[in-house]
Structure 1
Amino acid sequence: MYSNFWCDVHSAERLQAEYLIDWYFNREHTMRYNSTVGHWTGLSRAGFITASHFNEDDHDVLQRKVERQLICVDHVDTLLKVIEENVVEPAVDLAEAAGSGPDTRLLCAAYDFYPKRIRVTWHRDGQEVTSGVTLSEAMPNGDWTYQVRSYLDFGPGRQHGVSCTVEHISLREPKVYHWEPSVNRSERGFLVGGVCALLLGAVVLSSGLIKYRRWFCPRA
Protein backbone atom coordinates (compact mmCIF):
# COMPACT_ATOMS: atom_id res chain seq x y z
CA MET A 1 0.00 0.00 0.00
CA TYR A 2 1.25 3.50 -0.82
CA SER A 3 -0.10 7.00 -1.40
CA ASN A 4 0.82 10.01 -3.53
CA PHE A 5 0.24 13.46 -2.04
CA TRP A 6 -0.28 16.41 -4.39
CA CYS A 7 -0.66 20.17 -4.23
CA ASP A 8 -2.48 21.51 -7.27
CA VAL A 9 -1.77 25.25 -7.48
CA HIS A 10 -3.22 27.33 -10.31
CA SER A 11 -2.55 30.86 -9.04
CA ALA A 12 -1.16 32.84 -6.11
CA GLU A 13 -4.59 32.73 -4.45
CA ARG A 14 -3.90 30.57 -1.40
CA LEU A 15 -7.52 29.55 -0.90
CA GLN A 16 -7.55 27.99 -4.37
CA ALA A 17 -4.75 25.54 -3.53
CA GLU A 18 -6.07 22.01 -3.95
CA TYR A 19 -4.87 19.07 -1.87
CA LEU A 20 -5.04 15.58 -3.42
CA ILE A 21 -4.20 12.10 -2.19
CA ASP A 22 -4.08 9.07 -4.49
CA TRP A 23 -4.31 5.81 -2.52
CA TYR A 24 -3.04 2.55 -4.03
CA PHE A 25 -3.26 -1.05 -2.87
CA ASN A 26 -1.59 -3.92 -4.76
CA ARG A 27 -0.85 -1.41 -7.55
CA GLU A 28 -4.57 -0.66 -7.93
CA HIS A 29 -5.78 2.93 -7.61
CA THR A 30 -8.40 2.34 -4.93
CA MET A 31 -9.49 5.84 -3.85
CA ARG A 32 -8.70 9.56 -3.95
CA TYR A 33 -9.07 12.46 -1.55
CA ASN A 34 -9.85 15.88 -3.03
CA SER A 35 -9.92 18.92 -0.76
CA THR A 36 -12.20 20.80 -3.17
CA VAL A 37 -14.79 18.03 -2.90
CA GLY A 38 -13.99 17.63 0.80
CA HIS A 39 -14.02 13.84 1.07
CA TRP A 40 -12.62 10.54 -0.20
CA THR A 41 -13.97 8.95 -3.37
CA GLY A 42 -13.75 5.18 -3.86
CA LEU A 43 -12.45 3.95 -7.22
CA SER A 44 -12.64 0.20 -6.59
CA ARG A 45 -14.76 -2.19 -4.54
CA ALA A 46 -12.35 -2.10 -1.61
CA GLY A 47 -11.86 1.63 -2.14
CA PHE A 48 -15.58 2.34 -1.73
CA ILE A 49 -15.57 0.63 1.67
CA THR A 50 -12.42 2.36 2.92
CA ALA A 51 -13.49 5.76 1.57
CA SER A 52 -16.84 5.50 3.34
CA HIS A 53 -15.07 4.61 6.60
CA PHE A 54 -12.64 7.55 6.32
CA ASN A 55 -15.40 10.03 5.44
CA GLU A 56 -17.24 9.11 8.65
CA ASP A 57 -14.11 9.49 10.77
CA ASP A 58 -14.04 13.03 12.21
CA HIS A 59 -10.35 12.65 13.05
CA ASP A 60 -9.49 11.85 9.41
CA VAL A 61 -11.61 14.77 8.16
CA LEU A 62 -9.75 17.18 10.47
CA GLN A 63 -6.37 15.65 9.60
CA ARG A 64 -6.84 16.24 5.87
CA LYS A 65 -7.78 19.89 6.46
CA VAL A 66 -4.66 20.43 8.58
CA GLU A 67 -2.49 18.68 5.97
CA ARG A 68 -3.85 20.92 3.20
CA GLN A 69 -3.02 23.99 5.25
CA LEU A 70 0.49 22.90 6.22
CA ILE A 71 1.52 21.23 2.96
CA CYS A 72 -0.18 23.35 0.31
CA VAL A 73 -1.70 26.63 1.48
CA ASP A 74 1.28 27.75 3.58
CA HIS A 75 3.71 27.05 0.73
CA VAL A 76 1.90 28.48 -2.31
CA ASP A 77 4.57 31.17 -2.86
CA THR A 78 7.38 28.62 -2.65
CA LEU A 79 5.63 26.23 -5.02
CA LEU A 80 5.01 28.94 -7.60
CA LYS A 81 8.62 30.13 -7.35
CA VAL A 82 9.92 26.60 -7.95
CA ILE A 83 7.64 26.24 -10.97
CA GLU A 84 8.64 29.61 -12.41
CA GLU A 85 12.34 28.79 -12.07
CA ASN A 86 11.97 25.44 -13.81
CA VAL A 87 9.34 25.94 -16.51
CA VAL A 88 10.26 24.47 -19.89
CA GLU A 89 8.46 25.55 -23.05
CA PRO A 90 7.02 22.65 -25.08
CA ALA A 91 8.44 21.75 -28.47
CA VAL A 92 5.57 21.04 -30.88
CA ASP A 93 5.34 18.97 -34.06
CA LEU A 94 2.31 19.02 -36.35
CA ALA A 95 2.34 16.27 -38.95
CA GLU A 96 0.21 13.77 -40.79
CA ALA A 97 0.05 10.36 -39.12
CA ALA A 98 -0.88 6.95 -40.43
CA GLY A 99 -4.67 6.57 -40.39
CA SER A 100 -7.21 3.94 -41.37
CA GLY A 101 -9.11 4.02 -44.64
CA PRO A 102 -9.56 7.22 -46.64
CA ASP A 103 -9.70 9.44 -43.55
CA THR A 104 -6.84 11.79 -42.74
CA ARG A 105 -5.17 11.67 -39.32
CA LEU A 106 -3.14 14.60 -38.01
CA LEU A 107 -0.83 14.43 -35.01
CA CYS A 108 -0.04 17.40 -32.76
CA ALA A 109 2.74 16.33 -30.38
CA ALA A 110 4.02 18.51 -27.55
CA TYR A 111 7.09 17.25 -25.74
CA ASP A 112 9.90 18.15 -23.31
CA PHE A 113 7.76 20.57 -21.30
CA TYR A 114 7.36 21.29 -17.56
CA PRO A 115 5.21 21.52 -15.51
CA LYS A 116 2.78 18.77 -16.43
CA ARG A 117 -0.41 20.77 -16.98
CA ILE A 118 -0.94 21.56 -20.67
CA ARG A 119 -3.89 22.10 -23.01
CA VAL A 120 -3.91 20.99 -26.65
CA THR A 121 -6.93 21.79 -28.82
CA TRP A 122 -7.86 21.57 -32.51
CA HIS A 123 -9.56 24.27 -34.56
CA ARG A 124 -10.98 24.51 -38.05
CA ASP A 125 -11.65 27.96 -39.48
CA GLY A 126 -11.37 29.45 -35.99
CA GLN A 127 -13.90 27.07 -34.39
CA GLU A 128 -12.80 24.44 -31.84
CA VAL A 129 -13.15 20.86 -33.05
CA THR A 130 -14.00 18.07 -30.59
CA SER A 131 -15.28 15.36 -32.92
CA GLY A 132 -12.62 12.89 -34.01
CA VAL A 133 -10.12 14.08 -31.40
CA THR A 134 -8.02 11.65 -29.34
CA LEU A 135 -5.81 13.03 -26.55
CA SER A 136 -3.25 11.03 -24.57
CA GLU A 137 -2.37 11.58 -20.94
CA ALA A 138 0.71 13.68 -20.23
CA MET A 139 3.48 11.07 -20.00
CA PRO A 140 6.74 11.58 -18.06
CA ASN A 141 10.00 11.42 -20.01
CA GLY A 142 12.02 10.37 -16.97
CA ASP A 143 13.85 13.71 -16.68
CA TRP A 144 11.06 15.76 -15.03
CA THR A 145 9.65 16.78 -18.40
CA TYR A 146 6.49 15.49 -20.08
CA GLN A 147 5.04 14.78 -23.49
CA VAL A 148 1.49 14.57 -24.82
CA ARG A 149 -0.05 13.60 -28.15
CA SER A 150 -3.32 14.68 -29.71
CA TYR A 151 -4.82 13.16 -32.87
CA LEU A 152 -7.48 14.55 -35.20
CA ASP A 153 -9.29 12.25 -37.63
CA PHE A 154 -11.42 13.72 -40.42
CA GLY A 155 -12.69 12.84 -43.87
CA PRO A 156 -10.87 13.56 -47.13
CA GLY A 157 -10.97 17.05 -48.56
CA ARG A 158 -11.37 18.81 -45.19
CA GLN A 159 -7.75 19.64 -44.38
CA HIS A 160 -7.88 23.36 -45.08
CA GLY A 161 -8.15 25.78 -42.17
CA VAL A 162 -7.04 23.19 -39.57
CA SER A 163 -4.77 24.26 -36.71
CA CYS A 164 -3.49 22.97 -33.37
CA THR A 165 -3.38 25.30 -30.35
CA VAL A 166 -1.07 24.69 -27.37
CA GLU A 167 -1.49 26.44 -24.00
CA HIS A 168 1.11 26.13 -21.25
CA ILE A 169 2.33 28.18 -18.30
CA SER A 170 5.67 28.72 -20.07
CA LEU A 171 3.91 30.54 -22.94
CA ARG A 172 2.84 34.17 -22.64
CA GLU A 173 -0.03 33.41 -25.00
CA PRO A 174 -1.38 30.29 -26.74
CA LYS A 175 0.67 29.15 -29.72
CA VAL A 176 -1.19 28.23 -32.89
CA TYR A 177 0.27 25.79 -35.42
CA HIS A 178 -1.45 25.78 -38.83
CA TRP A 179 -1.63 22.66 -40.95
CA GLU A 180 -0.77 23.20 -44.59
CA PRO A 181 -2.02 20.35 -46.79
CA SER A 182 0.62 19.15 -49.21
CA VAL A 183 1.04 16.39 -51.74
CA ASN A 184 1.64 12.89 -50.47
CA ARG A 185 5.05 11.27 -50.28
CA SER A 186 4.90 9.47 -53.62
CA GLU A 187 3.80 12.63 -55.41
CA ARG A 188 6.43 14.65 -53.57
CA GLY A 189 9.10 12.14 -54.58
CA PHE A 190 7.92 12.32 -58.20
CA LEU A 191 8.11 16.12 -58.16
CA VAL A 192 11.55 16.13 -56.56
CA GLY A 193 12.76 13.64 -59.16
CA GLY A 194 11.30 15.79 -61.95
CA VAL A 195 13.01 18.92 -60.66
CA CYS A 196 16.34 17.08 -60.40
CA ALA A 197 15.94 15.82 -63.97
CA LEU A 198 15.23 19.34 -65.21
CA LEU A 199 18.29 20.72 -63.41
CA LEU A 200 20.47 17.94 -64.80
CA GLY A 201 19.12 18.59 -68.28
CA ALA A 202 19.87 22.29 -67.92
CA VAL A 203 23.45 21.53 -66.88
CA VAL A 204 23.97 19.13 -69.82
CA LEU A 205 22.44 21.64 -72.24
CA SER A 206 24.65 24.44 -70.95
CA SER A 207 27.73 22.24 -71.27
CA GLY A 208 26.75 21.34 -74.82
CA LEU A 209 26.29 24.98 -75.80
CA ILE A 210 29.70 25.89 -74.40
CA LYS A 211 31.39 23.11 -76.40
CA TYR A 212 29.43 24.11 -79.49
CA ARG A 213 30.66 27.68 -79.23
CA ARG A 214 34.25 26.49 -78.75
CA TRP A 215 34.12 24.23 -81.80
CA PHE A 216 32.13 26.36 -84.21
CA CYS A 217 32.79 29.85 -82.94
CA PRO A 218 36.62 30.08 -82.71
CA ARG A 219 38.09 33.29 -81.46
CA ALA A 220 39.36 35.73 -84.04
Structure 2
Amino acid sequence: MDSSLQSLCLFFLTLYTADSFLLYTATRCVFNSSELKDMEYIFSLYYNKLELASFSSTSGKFVGYTEYGIKTAAFWNANPEMIKHFRRFKELYCKVNADIDYQNALTKSVKPSVRLHSQSPPGGPHSAMLVCSVYDFYPKHIRVTWQRDGQEVTSNVTSTDELADGDWYYQIHSQLVYTPRPGDKISCVVEHTSLQEPLCTKWDPSLSKSETNQLVIGASGLVLGLVWLLGSLFYYRRKGSGRILVPTN
Protein backbone atom coordinates (compact mmCIF):
# COMPACT_ATOMS: atom_id res chain seq x y z
CA MET A 1 0.00 0.00 0.00
CA ASP A 2 0.99 3.61 -0.44
CA SER A 3 3.74 4.42 2.10
CA SER A 4 2.82 8.12 2.18
CA LEU A 5 -0.66 7.17 3.33
CA GLN A 6 0.46 4.70 5.94
CA SER A 7 3.07 6.88 7.60
CA LEU A 8 1.74 7.12 11.12
CA CYS A 9 2.93 8.68 14.33
CA LEU A 10 1.94 7.46 17.79
CA PHE A 11 2.49 10.11 20.44
CA PHE A 12 2.88 9.76 24.21
CA LEU A 13 3.38 12.70 26.57
CA THR A 14 4.59 12.78 30.19
CA LEU A 15 4.56 16.01 32.21
CA TYR A 16 6.47 17.12 35.31
CA THR A 17 6.07 20.53 36.94
CA ALA A 18 8.16 22.32 39.56
CA ASP A 19 8.03 25.99 40.58
CA SER A 20 6.07 26.98 37.45
CA PHE A 21 8.64 25.38 35.14
CA LEU A 22 7.55 22.54 32.87
CA LEU A 23 9.64 19.45 32.18
CA TYR A 24 8.12 16.85 29.90
CA THR A 25 8.97 13.93 27.64
CA ALA A 26 7.41 12.97 24.32
CA THR A 27 7.50 9.49 22.83
CA ARG A 28 6.74 8.86 19.14
CA CYS A 29 6.48 5.82 16.92
CA VAL A 30 6.74 6.56 13.21
CA PHE A 31 6.06 3.74 10.76
CA ASN A 32 4.93 3.10 7.18
CA SER A 33 4.28 -0.63 7.44
CA SER A 34 3.78 -3.28 10.09
CA GLU A 35 7.35 -4.52 9.63
CA LEU A 36 9.73 -3.72 12.49
CA LYS A 37 12.41 -2.54 10.07
CA ASP A 38 10.07 0.21 8.82
CA MET A 39 9.55 1.70 12.29
CA GLU A 40 11.35 4.34 14.29
CA TYR A 41 11.04 4.99 18.02
CA ILE A 42 11.81 8.57 19.11
CA PHE A 43 12.08 9.82 22.70
CA SER A 44 12.47 13.56 23.38
CA LEU A 45 13.12 15.52 26.58
CA TYR A 46 11.77 19.10 26.78
CA TYR A 47 12.04 21.94 29.25
CA ASN A 48 9.60 24.84 28.75
CA LYS A 49 9.02 23.88 25.07
CA LEU A 50 12.79 23.69 24.41
CA GLU A 51 14.02 20.28 23.30
CA LEU A 52 17.04 19.33 25.37
CA ALA A 53 17.87 15.85 24.07
CA SER A 54 16.37 12.97 22.13
CA PHE A 55 16.85 9.28 21.39
CA SER A 56 16.17 7.64 18.02
CA SER A 57 16.11 3.92 17.40
CA THR A 58 17.58 4.63 13.96
CA SER A 59 20.83 6.02 15.37
CA GLY A 60 20.60 3.97 18.59
CA LYS A 61 21.83 6.78 20.82
CA PHE A 62 20.92 10.05 22.52
CA VAL A 63 21.66 13.44 20.97
CA GLY A 64 21.78 16.73 22.89
CA TYR A 65 20.64 20.12 21.54
CA THR A 66 21.56 22.48 24.39
CA GLU A 67 24.53 22.69 26.74
CA TYR A 68 22.61 20.83 29.43
CA GLY A 69 21.14 18.46 26.82
CA ILE A 70 24.56 17.53 25.43
CA LYS A 71 25.81 16.67 28.94
CA THR A 72 22.65 14.66 29.63
CA ALA A 73 22.92 12.76 26.32
CA ALA A 74 26.59 11.94 26.98
CA PHE A 75 25.71 10.66 30.47
CA TRP A 76 22.92 8.44 29.13
CA ASN A 77 25.00 7.16 26.19
CA ALA A 78 27.66 6.04 28.68
CA ASN A 79 25.12 3.75 30.34
CA PRO A 80 24.84 0.52 28.29
CA GLU A 81 21.81 -0.70 30.24
CA MET A 82 19.90 2.50 29.52
CA ILE A 83 20.70 2.35 25.79
CA LYS A 84 19.60 -1.29 25.70
CA HIS A 85 16.41 -0.35 27.55
CA PHE A 86 15.48 2.42 25.06
CA ARG A 87 16.30 0.28 22.02
CA ARG A 88 13.73 -2.27 23.19
CA PHE A 89 10.94 0.33 23.04
CA LYS A 90 10.85 0.11 19.24
CA GLU A 91 9.47 -3.40 19.53
CA LEU A 92 7.59 -2.98 22.82
CA TYR A 93 5.73 0.21 21.80
CA CYS A 94 5.92 0.68 18.05
CA LYS A 95 5.47 -2.90 16.85
CA VAL A 96 2.51 -3.58 19.16
CA ASN A 97 0.67 -0.36 18.28
CA ALA A 98 1.39 -0.68 14.55
CA ASP A 99 -0.13 -4.17 14.50
CA ILE A 100 -3.25 -2.82 16.25
CA ASP A 101 -3.56 0.07 13.78
CA TYR A 102 -3.19 -2.15 10.74
CA GLN A 103 -5.70 -4.64 12.06
CA ASN A 104 -8.35 -2.11 13.12
CA ALA A 105 -7.92 0.71 10.60
CA LEU A 106 -5.62 0.24 7.65
CA THR A 107 -7.04 -3.12 6.57
CA LYS A 108 -10.60 -1.75 6.47
CA SER A 109 -12.29 -0.55 3.31
CA VAL A 110 -14.82 2.23 2.70
CA LYS A 111 -17.41 2.16 -0.06
CA PRO A 112 -17.26 4.98 -2.63
CA SER A 113 -20.04 7.42 -3.45
CA VAL A 114 -20.68 8.27 -7.11
CA ARG A 115 -21.97 11.44 -8.77
CA LEU A 116 -22.71 11.37 -12.49
CA HIS A 117 -23.29 14.71 -14.20
CA SER A 118 -22.95 16.41 -17.57
CA GLN A 119 -20.62 19.23 -18.59
CA SER A 120 -19.91 21.15 -21.74
CA PRO A 121 -17.29 19.33 -23.80
CA PRO A 122 -13.93 21.09 -24.24
CA GLY A 123 -14.32 21.04 -28.02
CA GLY A 124 -13.92 18.62 -30.88
CA PRO A 125 -16.39 16.58 -32.91
CA HIS A 126 -18.51 15.44 -29.93
CA SER A 127 -21.36 17.53 -28.54
CA ALA A 128 -21.73 16.03 -25.06
CA MET A 129 -19.59 15.07 -22.07
CA LEU A 130 -20.34 13.14 -18.90
CA VAL A 131 -18.27 13.24 -15.72
CA CYS A 132 -18.28 10.38 -13.23
CA SER A 133 -16.94 11.62 -9.87
CA VAL A 134 -16.17 8.98 -7.25
CA TYR A 135 -15.65 10.20 -3.68
CA ASP A 136 -14.63 9.02 -0.20
CA PHE A 137 -13.29 5.53 -0.89
CA TYR A 138 -10.49 3.56 0.77
CA PRO A 139 -8.13 1.88 -0.02
CA LYS A 140 -6.64 3.71 -2.96
CA HIS A 141 -6.91 1.21 -5.84
CA ILE A 142 -10.13 1.54 -7.85
CA ARG A 143 -11.34 0.92 -11.40
CA VAL A 144 -13.78 3.27 -13.16
CA THR A 145 -15.14 2.38 -16.61
CA TRP A 146 -17.96 3.44 -18.92
CA GLN A 147 -20.64 1.36 -20.62
CA ARG A 148 -22.83 2.36 -23.55
CA ASP A 149 -25.74 0.13 -24.49
CA GLY A 150 -24.20 -2.67 -22.40
CA GLN A 151 -20.74 -2.46 -24.02
CA GLU A 152 -17.61 -1.08 -22.38
CA VAL A 153 -16.41 2.21 -23.92
CA THR A 154 -12.64 2.42 -24.39
CA SER A 155 -12.29 5.51 -26.60
CA ASN A 156 -12.83 9.19 -25.77
CA VAL A 157 -12.40 8.45 -22.06
CA THR A 158 -9.99 10.28 -19.76
CA SER A 159 -9.50 9.85 -16.03
CA THR A 160 -7.55 11.47 -13.23
CA ASP A 161 -5.32 9.52 -10.87
CA GLU A 162 -6.63 8.61 -7.44
CA LEU A 163 -6.46 11.91 -5.57
CA ALA A 164 -5.80 11.88 -1.82
CA ASP A 165 -8.19 14.02 0.22
CA GLY A 166 -5.76 14.21 3.14
CA ASP A 167 -8.17 12.43 5.49
CA TRP A 168 -7.42 8.81 4.49
CA TYR A 169 -10.00 8.95 1.69
CA TYR A 170 -9.54 9.27 -2.08
CA GLN A 171 -11.46 10.61 -5.04
CA ILE A 172 -11.22 10.09 -8.80
CA HIS A 173 -12.91 11.67 -11.84
CA SER A 174 -13.54 10.10 -15.25
CA GLN A 175 -14.82 11.94 -18.35
CA LEU A 176 -16.58 10.55 -21.41
CA VAL A 177 -17.11 12.69 -24.51
CA TYR A 178 -19.66 11.38 -27.00
CA THR A 179 -22.32 12.22 -29.55
CA PRO A 180 -25.79 11.50 -28.16
CA ARG A 181 -28.04 8.99 -29.92
CA PRO A 182 -31.76 8.35 -29.39
CA GLY A 183 -32.30 5.74 -26.68
CA ASP A 184 -28.72 5.93 -25.36
CA LYS A 185 -28.06 3.89 -22.20
CA ILE A 186 -24.83 5.12 -20.62
CA SER A 187 -23.48 4.01 -17.25
CA CYS A 188 -20.45 4.63 -15.05
CA VAL A 189 -19.15 1.39 -13.53
CA VAL A 190 -17.02 1.41 -10.35
CA GLU A 191 -15.09 -1.61 -9.09
CA HIS A 192 -13.54 -1.47 -5.61
CA THR A 193 -12.50 -3.90 -2.89
CA SER A 194 -15.24 -2.55 -0.61
CA LEU A 195 -17.93 -3.60 -3.10
CA GLN A 196 -19.23 -7.14 -3.45
CA GLU A 197 -20.19 -6.38 -7.05
CA PRO A 198 -19.50 -3.47 -9.45
CA LEU A 199 -21.43 -0.28 -8.69
CA CYS A 200 -23.28 0.77 -11.84
CA THR A 201 -24.66 4.32 -12.01
CA LYS A 202 -26.92 5.00 -14.99
CA TRP A 203 -27.08 8.40 -16.67
CA ASP A 204 -30.53 9.98 -16.68
CA PRO A 205 -30.60 12.90 -19.15
CA SER A 206 -33.73 14.34 -17.52
CA LEU A 207 -33.27 17.01 -14.86
CA SER A 208 -32.95 15.82 -11.31
CA LYS A 209 -35.36 17.09 -8.65
CA SER A 210 -32.73 19.38 -7.16
CA GLU A 211 -31.88 20.87 -10.54
CA THR A 212 -35.58 21.43 -11.25
CA ASN A 213 -36.01 23.16 -7.91
CA GLN A 214 -33.06 25.41 -8.66
CA LEU A 215 -34.61 26.42 -11.98
CA VAL A 216 -38.00 27.12 -10.33
CA ILE A 217 -36.38 29.21 -7.60
CA GLY A 218 -34.32 31.11 -10.15
CA ALA A 219 -37.33 31.80 -12.36
CA SER A 220 -39.42 32.91 -9.37
CA GLY A 221 -36.70 35.30 -8.29
CA LEU A 222 -36.53 36.75 -11.79
CA VAL A 223 -40.31 37.30 -11.91
CA LEU A 224 -40.38 38.92 -8.48
CA GLY A 225 -37.51 41.18 -9.49
CA LEU A 226 -39.33 42.32 -12.62
CA VAL A 227 -42.54 42.97 -10.63
CA TRP A 228 -40.64 45.05 -8.08
CA LEU A 229 -38.88 47.02 -10.82
CA LEU A 230 -42.09 47.76 -12.74
CA GLY A 231 -43.92 48.71 -9.54
CA SER A 232 -41.14 51.09 -8.52
CA LEU A 233 -41.11 52.77 -11.94
CA PHE A 234 -44.91 53.14 -11.88
CA TYR A 235 -44.88 54.61 -8.36
CA TYR A 236 -42.17 57.20 -9.01
CA ARG A 237 -43.73 58.22 -12.32
CA ARG A 238 -47.09 58.88 -10.69
CA LYS A 239 -45.51 60.57 -7.71
CA GLY A 240 -43.54 62.91 -9.96
CA SER A 241 -46.63 63.97 -11.89
CA GLY A 242 -48.56 64.78 -8.72
CA ARG A 243 -51.58 62.77 -9.89
CA ILE A 244 -53.41 60.00 -8.09
CA LEU A 245 -54.42 56.99 -10.06
CA VAL A 246 -58.08 56.02 -9.44
CA PRO A 247 -59.33 52.75 -10.87
CA THR A 248 -62.32 52.97 -13.17
CA ASN A 249 -64.90 50.44 -14.23
Q: Return the TM-score normalized by structure 1.
A: 0.45
Structure having the higher Rg: 2
